[in-house]
Amino acid sequence: MAEASSSRRVVIVGGGFAGLFAARMLARAPVEVTLIDRAEHHLFQPLLYQCATGILSEGKIAAPLRQLLSKHRNVEFVIAEANGIDAERRTVLARRPLGEQIEFAYDYLILAAGVRQSYFGHDEYAPIAPGMKTIEDALKIRRRVFGAFEMAESADDPEERKRWLTFALVGAGPTGVELAGQIREVATKTLRKEYRHIQPEDARVLLFDGGSAPLAMFGPKLSGMAARQLGKLGVELHMGSIVTHVDPGGLEVKDHDGTVTRHLCGNVLWTAGVEAPPLAGVVAKATGAQQDRAGRIVVGKDCTIPGHPEILVTGDMMSLDKLPGVAEVAMQTGLYAGRSVSHQAQDKTFDKPFKYRDLGSAAYISRGKAVVSAFKLNFGGFLGWWVWLFIHIGFLTGYRNRIGAVLGWWFAFTRDIRRERTFTIDDMPVPSGAYGVLGDAAGTGPAAAAPVALADPAASADPGHAGAG
């Protein structure tokens, strides 16, 4: 901690890209920084799907926050979950691991808590259809994907075997597209010679979305390219679909004509929609801030809450100029918030509004195939795949993680080897019990609910490519 007793106190909530970059920017400022996060690690969310499909271990896409901040003597990390603020007293309220409440006083507060998976008001789907936001989510999906092949191998009934070899993904943004492609590659390449009673390449991957095409945010050219490549992989696209029901036996979707179709499958994976965490609502109530349709806090051009210049909101938790929920926005807003607080702490004027510099987006489709939109250029194929590789190597935190990722990619892409797929019989899925579902497979339980629309762009930002706040 800084030795000067007169140092300003800065509290940062969230250790994602925005929070980490803000803390680094404040490392040499005359302030005392406390970074609060419910996880002990910084996570590179865009590669969670590779953790879920056995290419990379969780250690390759995450780094301990204490290690990342160890050289910054004025920055302290506390593992806790922020659950409220007192705007008048300028304190953050948080819950420690054993439930104890603790308070942190601040002169400046930087909110970088990110977003969470959204089920569009139907949280009862969550135990059945895991999302892709945390390490725990990726490991759960890994167990279900590889466990499904084991369940199919041991099944005697052909229909049961077929059900276990059917995977349904809800949401055709980058995460949905990437995960769908990887499951097909697992089935057709990694596992193709490992089983005696099933043909893994018979696995069906169904991709549902309320929009008209996958990767719609990339524009018609790249979206069409992605659709063609997914088709070649064997991914079955069901665009214009609205999910009306999810249960352990599968899901039901309604098309534009109103026809409802039931699809039997062993796994439903949720890759659509994000929303602000409960903390955003608590902050809005305490400060009078407005929230957008996804619950994110609306801020001014300087990333502050109107009427509260001491509170800055960054990354995915922030709503400003319809900026996308991607890592680059989180990094840039984190740097901006850190720079703003650093200037103010030294009694310097800082009146520059935040200006986002769009460096582009990239999505992996399959080995040797990716799409890239950057600097007004749209391209894909093998060149896009190489650009995707370099972008993600550059964004990974730490040289060890970069080297580990490159080695993991080398074995997966050249020899079809995915070593990160360990699980036990206790982790394997069963028709209902392992999912903790209260409803039954026939759709009579609480999982039977109203339709879920997936075409609302304000509420369906892609979770896997959010900036990790």
* DSSP conformation class of 250: E
Calpha distance 133→123 (Å, rounded): 15
R_g of the chain, CA atoms, integer Å: 22
Q: Which residue has the tokens 């999302």?
A: 131
Alpha-carbon distance of 209 to 327, in angstroms, equals: 23
Q: Tell me whether strands 267-270 and 274-275 are parallel, antiparallel or unpaired.
A: unpaired
Other CB atoms within 10 Å distance of the CB of residue 32:
22
The CA angle 359-365-368, to the nearest 5 degrees, is 95
H or E stretch including 8?
A: strand 8-13
178 is catalytic: yes
Phi, then psi, of 33 in degrees rounded to 5 = -110, 130
Per the CB < 8 A criterion, the answer to whether 195 and 175 are in contact is no
Q: What is the DSSP string of 390-432?
A: HHHHHHSSSHHHHHHHHHHHHHHHHH---------GGGS--SS
Distance CA 223, CA 280 (A): 33
Q: How many CB atoms lie within 10 A of CB 108?
A: 24
Strand partners, 168: 206, 268
Sequence length of the chain is 469
Q: Which two tokens stand for residue 53?
A: 């499909």
Decide if 211 contacts 221 (C-beta within 8 A).
no
From the list 32, 124, 178, 275, the catalytic residue is 178
What are the residue numbers of the active site?
A: 178
